[in-house]
């Protein structure tokens, strides 16, 4: 049961959560920050005279209120209605099991004007939960944002580069423990890719990589600062504060380009590891929709991406733009799914 850490983690996501529902409400009632005041946000009415191909779009956040996916869905709803791209864009939360509960709901959705938030975590959860519904079954629409991961060590650590760290793991094995987010999550996957890339036989990866997962926020930082573990991997946002304060040393980020939050830190490619893995978020539509419906959604999302309000939202939330649609997104998604599935098998979380 999550609840154990429930008081911390489960509850942690849920109520943080609620507030975004409320934020949406607050914004609608003019209480909130006028984030998207660019065009003078109109309260959602029915018949806008704007030329819209869709009157309404149903947004699904496959998570409880509060987490990244929920924030993404709420922000989308705000911008879509605020810019008059659609008349209404209500958000429904269908949380649970790393988004696979929401994915199952989407697979049965009949209304083609439906967009569900997705991301790297769902790609992994489909594998680790042996989900009946798979992302391949539904219709991919777009990738929107991404957050790079960062590899850190305590500032007192002897490891000066990501190479030092990976070499030590290869040589000393389980004596070096690495911490991060949940088992089988993005952080764990990146750790597995690093060890595999360093030449460890896939069969030996589970016994070589001693990964200590955490269920709640902040625990990884504590373990690093307390010297309980030797290294950590997480989203740049999780560690940035301690890195700036000089308590943690960032060795590398996992994106193609240096991160905006930690511009000084080299990428894994710079350090000689051919790995790029970011915590991306995107949108999916129900299965079996016809081309016209799919085109309408793609066009809607493209218009959204072009709007100033979305640019403002990205800046406010600290999200990096990673817009990708059509065949490019399809190709990226296929590659991502294959890569994640393989790594999860290698690190032993999913049976081969």
The interface with another protein within residues 5-34 (CB under 8 A) comprises 5-8, 10-12, 14-19, 21-26, 31-33
Residue 184 binds to another protein (criterion: CB under 8 A): yes
Which residues in 270-309 contact another protein (CB under 8 A)? none
* Residue 129 binds another protein (CB under 8 A): yes
Count of beta carbons in the 10 Å neighbourhood of residue 286: 23
Nearest distance in Å: CB 224, another protein: 9
Residue 233 interacts with another protein (CB under 8 A): yes or no: no
**Which of 37, 39, 42, 207 is close enough to bind another protein by CB under 8 A?**
207
The reply on whether position 157 binds another protein by CB under 8 A is: no
Nearest-angstrom CA–CA distance, 165 and 178 = 10
Q: Does 349 bind another protein (CB under 8 A)?
A: yes
Q: Tell whether residue 241 is a contact of another protein (CB under 8 A).
A: yes
Site for another protein (CB under 8 A): which residue of 39, 111, 172, 174?
Answer: 174
Burial class of residue 57 in the structure, from the number of CB atoms within 10 Å of its CB (0-12 exposed, 13-18 middle, 19+ buried): buried
Site size for another protein, by CB under 8 A?
80
Smallest gap from Cβ 348 to another protein, in A, equals 4
Q: Which of residues 85-104 bind another protein (CB under 8 A)?
A: 90, 92-98, 100-101, 104
* CA 140/CA 287 separation, integer angstroms: 9
Q: Does 202 bind another protein (CB under 8 A)?
A: no
């Amino acid at each position: 049961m999550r609840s154990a850490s429930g008081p911390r983690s489960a509850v942690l996501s849920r109520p943080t959560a609620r507030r975004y529902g409320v934020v949406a409400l607050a914004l609608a009632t003019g209480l909130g920050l006028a984030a998207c005041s660019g065009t003078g946000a109109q309260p959602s009415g029915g018949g806008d005279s704007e030329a819209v191909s869709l009157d309404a779009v149903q947004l699904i956040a496959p998570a409880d209120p509060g987490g990244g996916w929920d924030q993404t869905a709420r922000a989308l709803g705000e911008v879509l209605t605020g810019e008059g791209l659609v008349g209404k864009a209500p958000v429904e939360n269908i949380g649970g099991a790393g988004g696979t509960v929401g994915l199952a709901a989407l697979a049965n959705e009949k209304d083609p004007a439906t967009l569900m938030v997705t991301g790297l975590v769902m790609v992994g959860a489909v594998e680790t939960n042996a989900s009946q519904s798979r992302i391949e079954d539904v219709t991919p629409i777009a990738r929107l944002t991404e957050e790079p991961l960062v590899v850190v060590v305590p500032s007192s650590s002897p490891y000066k580069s990501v190479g030092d760290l990976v070499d030590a793991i290869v040589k000393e094995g389980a004596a070096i423990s690495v911490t991060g987010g949940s088992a089988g999550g993005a952080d764990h996957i990146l750790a597995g890719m690093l060890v595999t890339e360093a030449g460890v036989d896939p069969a030996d990866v589970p016994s070589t990589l001693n990964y200590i997962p955490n269920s709640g926020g902040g625990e990884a930082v504590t373990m690093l600062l307390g010297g309980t573990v030797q290294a950590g991997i997480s989203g740049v946002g999780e560690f940035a504060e301690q890195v700036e304060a000089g308590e943690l040393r960032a060795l590398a980020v996992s994106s193609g380009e240096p991160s905006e939050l930690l511009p000084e830190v080299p990428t894994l490619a710079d350090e000689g590891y051919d790995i790029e893995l970011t915590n991306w978020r995107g949108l999916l539509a129900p299965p079996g929709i016809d081309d016209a419906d799919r085109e309408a959604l793609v066009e809607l999302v493209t218009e959204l991406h072009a709007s100033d309000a979305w640019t403002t939202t990205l800046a406010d939330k600290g999200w990096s733009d990673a817009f990708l649609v059509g065949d490019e997104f399809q190709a990226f998604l296929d590659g991502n799914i294959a890569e994640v599935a393989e790594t999860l098998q290698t690190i032993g979380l999913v049976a081969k």
